[in-house]
A and B are shown apart, each in its own frame.
Chain A
């Protein structure tokens, strides 16, 4: 369940970075999920795809990198600009 509130955090981060960088859209987001982070990568993926509708991440490809520690972070965004 907490994957939903974390997906909301991810959208907030993506939206604020997109504004900062004057992005037209976000085409890809890379997220690191550690096996000890307490996050289920698959559950997070479905949560994000459900709630990203209408947000800057709606059409973004989600690229999850699985690591072995406690990491849970947005590694990078691929943005489209003019």
Chain B
């Protein structure tokens, strides 16, 4: 068998170069008369089975598209943040307040992911930012391809900020890279302190954790210390901001965090 050109491999392709010669360390000779046929040693009444080794990452197609989205963002110096959470943590209210506050200084866009309705995109448009709504139907997450399609319709300017509000779900969106610069997980104080332990993948892949609805802390049994301890067990790089999108408490920390991010 010849490893240089693949000739002689039983199931590979063949390239014939008339000037390419082999020196075989074998006494075997073969006449160049190919008028004869070879008899088969077995019957062909059953199909041959063959194992093909692949080792293909099942998410590879998504990851390739996410990589292309990321290059697009980097090229235009767009800061892309993927906002994830369980349903009802207040993501859309956080974004509305963020748009109100940052709109004098930065151009912002939002890609909204929900199973159904245009409710969130309408809220964002009213707040003053162009928004595209992706309805996933029976799907439980956004993927890189959906973001790629949405980007073609958004016409994002350079140096802008793009928020992707993912489908409210702490399980599925964790696996799908969208090409974002950073992932922000929003949780509210009405949720349990054990969330990071119950949904480790999402906490493990996030960069910042926004603890929202801090105005409700006096009314609920939620210990921020306990929550942070659990989250840091899963991801010791995770940063935290405690705030209330409703009262505005702590929101400055969030605005400062956004403006300190540089995607270039």
Contact = CB atoms under 8 A, between A and B. Distances in A.
B17 interface: no
A75 interface: yes
Given A2-B140, A2-B171, A38-B174, A81 B58 contact: no
B216 interface: no
Interface string B93-117: 0000000000000000000000000
Contact of B48 (A36, A37, A80): A80
B33 to A, nearest CB: 27
Contact of A73 (B48, B49, B50, B55): B55
Contacts of B201: 36, 38
Contact of A76 (B53, B140, B171): B53
Interface residues of B, number: 26
B contact face: mostly helix, strand, loop, or mixed? mixed
B54 A75 contact: yes
Contact of B47 (A24, A36, A39, A75): A24
Contacts of B140: 1-2
A9 B51 CA distance: 20
Interface in A58-82: 72-82
Interface of A: 1-2, 5-6, 9-10, 12-13, 17, 21, 24-25, 27, 31, 36-39, 72-82
